[in-house]
Structure 1
Amino acid sequence: MSIVKFEPETRRVQLTGGATLIVSLPKEWTRQVDLKPGDEVLVIPQPDLSLLVVPKKMVKAPLLESSISVNQDLSNIDHVERVLLAHYLSGYDIFKLNFDITTLDLKRQVKDIVRRKLTGVEIIEEGRNSLVIQNLVNVPDINIRDILVKLVKTVVGMIDDLRTPIENGDKAIATDIVERDNEVDKFYWLLNRQLKRILISKHALSLSGLQDPRSIIEYAIINKSLERAADHAVKIAREVLNLGDKYVLLMPQEIRQRFSELLSKDSMIMNNVGKAMIEKPDVKEINYIIDAVKYEIRSAVDSLDTNLTNYNISTQAAASARLILDSIYRIAEYASDVGEALLNLSIEQISL
C-alpha cells in the first residue's frame, strides 16, 4: 500500500455568487485520484477544525492484492505465518499463495492458520499448489470499542475458568482455555489491522468513531496488554496440563486454594477494566485498579512465593508454583496497563 507524498500548496480563498467561498484543488492531487469535473467529493470536518476532502468514488477502496511465493526460502510454517500476518496487517485484502514441490505440505497448515487467527478471512479458491485467500471484513464496519469489549470478556472468561483446573486439575477445562486463545488472537490481529488502517487514512479514522488520532496509541497498548494477559492464562493452563495427573498430588490443597483466590482477584480487576471501557472512565476507579495490582496483588504473590519453602513440596512442584504465581501477577499487571491507557484516553478527550 503506497502513500503518495505531496508538498503543501497555498490556495487563496475566493468569493463567488456574493456569499460562497471557494478554493481550487491542487492539480497533481486531482490527477492522482482521477478527479474529473462533475465528480463528487466528501468534505469531512475534523476535530482540529481542518477539513478532509475525499473523492466519493474512493470511499469504497479497491481490493489490494498480494502474492506470496512459498518456496524453499520460506519452508518453515512459522515463517510463512509471520509473512502472511504481515501482509494482513499491512491492509491487503487478497492473498495469493503459490507453493512449490518443497513446500506443498505446508498448504494444509496455512489453511489452519487462516481458520484460527484471521477474522473474516476465507479461502475462496484452492488449486493443487495454490491458495487464494480474501478478507471479507469491511474496515468501516469495525467498531474498536466493540472488539475490545469482546476481547476483555473472553480474557475474563479464561481467567474465571482457570480456577477449576487450578483447584482440581481438570484437564478438559485447561485444554479448552488453551484453545480459546485462538479467539483472542483473532480479535488481536483484527484490531491491529484496523488501527494500522486508520493510522494512514484520515477517512478511515473519521469512520472509526475515534475523535483523537492520539488514541490509536492507547488502543494499541490495550490490545497488546489483553493479548498478553490471555497468553499468561494459557501458560497457567499448560502448566496444569504438563503436570497431568500429578498436579493435585504435587500441589497441596492450601496452595491450590491460594492460587484460585488470586485468580479471582485477577478476574475482578480485569472485569473492572472492562466496565471502565464501556462506561466513561472514572479516574478514581482506575487509580484503585492500578493500586490493587501495585500493592495488594504484588504483596500476596510475594508472600506466597516466600512461604513455598514452608510446604513439603518437591523441587518440581515449587518451580511450577512459581511459574503459576508469576503468570497470575502478570495478568494483573497487564490489566493495570489497560487501566493506565484508559486513563490517558480520558485525559486526551478532555484536552480536545
Structure 2
Amino acid sequence: MEVRRVQKFGKSTLMVSLPADWVKEVGLNPGESIYLEVDEDGSLKVYPPNLKTEGSTKEMKVSLKSSSNADLVSRIIYSLYILGFDRVIIEKSDGPFNEDILRKIKDTVRSLIGLEIVSQDLSTIQIQSFLDPTKYNMSSLVTRLSNTLKQMLHYLNLGIKEASRTFLQEVLELEKEIDRLYYLSLRQLLLAQVNRSLAYMIGVKRIQIVGNRILMKAVEEAADEISEAVSDLLSLHPEDLEIMKYSWDRIDMIFDQTTVVIDHVVKVLNKEDVKLVNEVLEELRTLRRVLMTEALITEEKVEKTGSPRVIVVFKSLNLRLYNAIRRMEPIAEIAFNRSVENLKEISLE
C-alpha cells in the first residue's frame, strides 16, 4: 500500500496527487473527470472515466471427443459466458462434430446475448462475445426482467381466456428471453465483482452483489414456474383447454393482483422506506392467501366438468402460480434490508 501526504490547496481545500503509474495505466489525461465513491467501510474509491479493455480478453479452449456429452458442452458454454470469457474455442480431437453436439452448441450460443460463432469448420468452432458491459445497467436489467415476467402472466391469462395455444406458446418464448437476461445479469455481476470501475458504471455496489444475484435467480425461478404451468396447459386436448375458459374470471383477478405486486416489489428496491417495503411483504402474503381461497372455490367449479385431466392441470396451475408469487418474497426481503442499511436511526410510530 502506498502512502501519500494530504496537502492544503487554497484556504480550505485538501488535495492529494494521483499515482503516476495508475494515471498511465488507465490513460487519464489532464482536464478529464474521474469518479469518486465512498465505500461501505469509509474508504474512498477513485475510478477512471473509461474502462480500459485492451489486453483483457479472456479465452478458453474446450477439447471434445465423439463420446462427449452434448448437454455438458452446453453447460460449459453457459458457465464460461457467466464467468466473463470473451472467446471460446471448441475443438473436436477425433473427427468432425456430430449432429447432436453441433446443434447443441449453436442453440446455446443463440440463447446468450452478445455471443456469436465467428468461425467454424468440421472440427473447430470459435465463439466470440461482442458485449460492451458498460451498456447494461443493473437497474435496467432488473426492470427488463420484471417487465418480461409480467408479459408472461399477461399471455398466460389471454391463453386461458381465449383457449389459445398461440398465446400460450408466446409465454414459452418470453421465458427464453428471461433466461437470456438472467445469464447476462450474472455475467455483469461477476465482472463487477472483479472490476470496480465497471461496477460503478453499471450501478452495482459491492455490498449488493449477493443480493442482486438472489434477486435475479428469484425472477428466473418465477418464470420457470409460469413456463411449467403453460407446458401443462399445452398438453391438454383442445376440448379440455376450452373447459379451462369457464374458470377464467377468477383466474383473471389473481393475475391482475400478481402483476401489481410484482410492480410494487421492483419499485421498492430503490426506496429507503421501511414501512413501504413492509407493506409490499404483507401484500405478497395476502396474495398467497387469496390465491389459496380462490383455488378451492374454482377447483369445485372445474371438478363439475368431469374431466380428470383438466382437474389435474388446474391444480398444477394454482400451485405454479403460488410458487411464482413465493419467489417474489426474497426480492422484497432484499429491498427491506437495503431500506435500513444506510439509516442512522429507525423510528417507528
TM superposition score normalised by structure 2? 0.81
Which of the numbers 265, 271, 274 marks the counterpart of 2:257? 265
Q: Is the 8 A contact 1:171 1:244 kept in 2?
A: no
Distance 1:68 1:228 in 2: 30
Equivalent runs, 1:1-352 vs 2, <5 Å:
9=1, 11=3, 13=5, 45-48=36-39, 49-52=42-45, 59-61=52-54, 62-72=56-66, 75-100=68-93, 101=95, 103-105=97-99, 106-116=101-111, 118-210=112-204, 212-248=205-241, 251=244, 253-254=246-247, 256-277=248-269, 280=271, 282-302=273-293, 304-305=295-296, 308=299, 311-312=303-304, 313-350=306-343
Listed one character per residue, the Cα deviations across residues 311-348 of structure 1 (whole Å, up to 9, x for unaligned) are 32344333222211011112222223222222222323
Q: CA deviation at 1:50?
A: 2.6
- Partner of 2:126: helix, strand, or coil? strand
| Whole-angstrom CA distance in 2 between matches of 1:114 and 1:214 | 32
Aligned to 1:5: none
CA offsets 1:140-186 (integer angstroms, 9 cap, x no match): 22200011111111110110111122234211111111122111111
Q: Is contact 2:66–2:98 with CA below 8 Å preserved after alignment? A: no
Whether contact under 8 Å (1:104, 1:129) holds in the other structure is no
SS at match of 1:266: helix
Partner of 1:4: none
Deviations 1:81-111 (A, max 9, x none): 1111111111110111113537432123211
Task: Tell me what 1:6 maps to.
Answer: none
Cα deviation for residue 220 of structure 1 reads 1.2
- The separation in 2 between residues aligned to 1:39 and 1:285, in whole angstroms, is 45
TM-aligned CA deviation for residue 113 of structure 1: 1.5
CA–CA distance in 2 between the matches of 1:51 and 1:179?
45
Q: 1:271: Cα distance to partner? A: 2.4
Distance 2:252 2:19 in 1: 67
CA RMSD of aligned residues (A): 3.4
Deviation track 1:1-21 (CA, whole Å, cap 9, x = no partner) reads: xxxxxxxx4747487999975
Note if contact 2:82-2:186 (Cα within 8 Å) is conserved in structure 1: yes
Residue 46 of structure 1: CA displacement?
A: 3.2
Q: What SS does structure 1 have at the residue aligned with 2:191?
A: helix
Contact map agreement 2:117 2:127 (CA 8 A) in 1: yes
Letter in structure 1 aligned against 2:87: I
SS in 2 for 1:122: strand
Q: CA deviation at 1:199?
A: 1.4
Task: Describe the superposition over 1:282-330 as per-residue Cα deviations: whole angstroms up to 9, x where unpaired.
Answer: 5444323321221333243255247735732344333222211011112
- Give structure 2 stretches of 5+ with no counterpart: 345-349
**What is the CA distance between 1:63 and its match in structure 2?**
1.2
C-alpha distance in 1 between matches for 2:316 and 2:117 = 39
Query: What CA deviation, in whole Å up to 9, does each residue of 1:33-68 have, x standing for no partner?
Result: 9x79x9759975332343446799972242111111
The structure-2 alpha-carbon separation of the partners of 1:204 and 1:23, relative to structure 1 and needing over 3 Å to count, comes to: closer
In structure 2, how many angstroms separate the alpha carbons of the residues matched to 1:14 and 1:24? 13
Asked if structure 1 preserves the Cα contact closer than 8 Å seen for 2:96 and 2:122, the reply is no
Question: Of the two structures, which has the highest relative contact order with CA contacts closer than 8 Å and spacing of 6 or more?
Answer: 1
- The answer to whether the 8 Å contact 1:162/1:174 transfers is yes
Q: Provide the C-alpha distance between the structure 2 equivalents of 1:16 and 1:332, rounded to a whole number of angstroms.
A: 57
Query: Separation in 2 of the partners of 1:110 and 1:91?
Result: 18
5+ residue gaps, structure 1: 1-8
Identity rate of aligned residues, in percent? 21
Change (3 A) 1:139 1:12: same
How far 1:194 moved relative to its partner? 0.5
CA 1:17/1:304 → structure 2, altered by over 3 Å: closer, same or farther?
closer
Aligned length: 332
